[in-house]
Amino acid sequence: MNSKNKKRFLLIGCGSIGGDKSYSVDNSKTNQVTHIHAIVECGFCCGIVDPDVDRVKPIAEKWGVSENLVFKNLLAAKKTNPDIIVIATPQHTQYDILIDCIKYFGIHKTYILEKPCLNSLEEFSKMQTLRIIHGLSIYINYQRQHIKEYKKEFIDDKIGKVISAECVYTRGALRDGSHALAFFCDLFGRPESIKTSYKSFSDWGSEDLTRNIIFTFQDDSPEVIFRAMDGRIADIFEIDLIGEKGRLQYIDHGSVIRYTKHKDEMQFGTGYKSVGWKADELINVKLDLSHIYNDVVKGINQPDLALYRYAWVFLKKSVQD
């Protein structure tokens, strides 16, 4: 497929998640969790907007984007005529930039945002209103929600009804905890209440604490435990689900899934089942942004902003108490 037939992406912000990082010591293009990687894989990059043009030009060259398509501001990029606009700037700036983009490019474009408006629930409500009244098409970069192995259908098939659920995380309830909560909201629906521990870690700043949290969800869903780890010592993001038929452990930041069936208990007597320790299957997951980008190109699986906004009320409470 040539560039004329591909969706045109405009990337706003080319910092760490935008395109200025690599997970390999040789700075290769493989195994990258960046927007520019997903754009090049799933579409055509019609422009990059970043105030530090000189820093960004070598990054653009690495990904085959002409330096003539690197712009200092939105006004200069107006001529690019994008289909999809990616806002990968610091989260406190994203709502204002979204409004500017609507002014320059129109409300009927598709937008991808990085964890927007977590610092301001009022802004999140305004963004939700834009969708309801004007049909704003918007995706949020919780890439796990677009991966088959994280979807409810896959989980139900593997382990049946979930009985026990927890997450171990670092780097802030708003930052990394929001990824986990988005996953559990898609699995269990709306959270109903939370309990938090007094002790917390400030491994992502004093305004975004990492602490133990217990979420209660609606109906007969299990309580979900968020266990805090100090990211200044070691980073971790793992999800552990135990169901009626087995166990799913999302390890190595969720790039590997350890699947274990319940076993007949042999050591302490027959007639009992035991949560097995030996993996029946290890499932490798490609944990990059191409999953969400493929859904964006197809126009499917937009997030439930009303559900997320409701959940973020609890997240904000967890870092303020």
At 153-177, the pLDDT tens digits run: 999 999 999 999 999 999 999 999 9
Domain-wise residue ranges, the chain: 3-141, 144-286+303-320
For residue 269, pLDDT beyond 70: no
d(CA 87, CA 116): 9
CB atoms within 10 A of CB 20: 18
Residue 145 CB neighbour total at 10 angstroms: 22
| pLDDT for residue 22 is more than 60 | no
| Beta-ladder partners of 295 | none
- Residue 28 pLDDT exceeds 60: no
Lowest mean pLDDT, pick from 38-42, 183-187, 275-279:
275-279
Which residues face 261 on adjacent strands?
246
Whether 198 has a pLDDT exceeding 80, the answer reads: yes
First and final CA of the chain: distance in angstroms? 52
The SS3 call for residue 19 is coil
Other CB atoms closer than 10 Å to residue 263's CB: what's the count?
15
| Highest mean pLDDT of the ranges 1-5, 119-123, 141-145, 279-283 | 279-283
Per DSSP, 23 falls in state: S
CA 283, 289, 292, 297: dihedral to nearest 10 degrees?
A: -130
The answer regarding whether domain 3-141 maps to CATH 3.40.50.720 reads: yes
* Alpha-carbon span 202 to 26, nearest angstrom: 32
Secondary element (H or E) of residue 78? none
Instruction: Give the separation between CA 226 and CA 187, rounded to whole angstroms.
Output: 15
| Predicted confidence band of residue 82 (pLDDT cuts 50, 70, 90) | very high
What pTM was estimated for this model as a whole? 0.91
Reported as a single tens digit per residue, the pLDDT across 235-263 is 999 999 999 999 999 999 999 999 999 99
Q: How many helices (H) and strands (E) does the chain have?
A: 9, 15
What are the contacts of 122-128 at 24+ separation with CB within 8 A?
Answer: 123/95, 124/95, 124/305, 124/308, 124/309, 124/312, 125/309, 126/95, 127/95, 127/98, 127/305, 128/305, 128/306, 128/309
Give the per-residue pLDDT at 26.
Answer: 43
C-beta of residue 59 within 8 angstroms of C-beta of residue 19:
yes
pLDDT band for 264, please (50, 70, 90 cuts): confident
CATH among 3.30.360.10, 3.30.420.40, 3.40.50.2300, 3.10.20.880 for 144-286+303-320: 3.30.360.10
Question: What pLDDT does residue 25 have?
Answer: 38
